[in-house]
Structure 1
């Protein structure tokens, strides 16, 4: 039986390992981490996305996301247009961005789905349930530091 501290060490090492996997994938595609996650979010989203949505999904500051978006506009991958006045902007892929995403983030999404399909339905459900429970508890406990 593992102690809570032993589980924490293993859990954090695993999370850091995930981050390293995605950092390596981003780099192999010639993308910054932020640009990768922006494209990822746009591709997995079933609705139009705003810059605010992106910030919420990738947990990055507005300025970091804004800088990445500016570069992506310059590179011709995305367009940013007005939505609901100037406070929110839609972010959409251009044709060039769609083509690039098919060769990059779409492949990552497919591999992630395949990795979850390596588990049976009950394992997937348990993994999500336990991760959500830990996340909720941690958020509540850490709120005293905010």
Structure 2
């Protein structure tokens, strides 16, 4: 009698277990559309996806930066921090996601900003870049951000790390 009852109840028990797992996962922000997928994911070694924002936080964050010689050069990120357009309202920062990521990185790492902003040339679609003229002691420096082909077309020199 017990042998005959177990196979009939087994699908119900599995469904209840998977449902409880789905409920627990939903508390962590995971959306489960098919209960059978929970079991399939448990057997997975590699997951390949093609959509940004589905498995990510839908937020850009800057973790590390390198110069053209693959060195961590704090001056690069300092200069980049002048060539951003963000608005701070309390603890919230608004703007282009890349600009916000640079701004938050500079604040988080407490990177000093030693340049004085002389002039800002805002982004426009004809130039396809924005520029900032900076001054440190008696040295003037033009920093540009924009489409690579637009920025590289006006570059005459590349600064190497010391």
Bigger RCO of structures 1 and 2 (CA < 8 A, at least 6 apart): 1
Structure with the higher helix share, 1 or 2: 1
User: What is the TM-score with the length of structure 1 in the denominator?
Assistant: 0.28
- The structure whose Rg is larger is 2
User: What is the TM-score with the length of structure 2 in the denominator?
Assistant: 0.26
Structure with the higher strand share, 1 or 2: 2
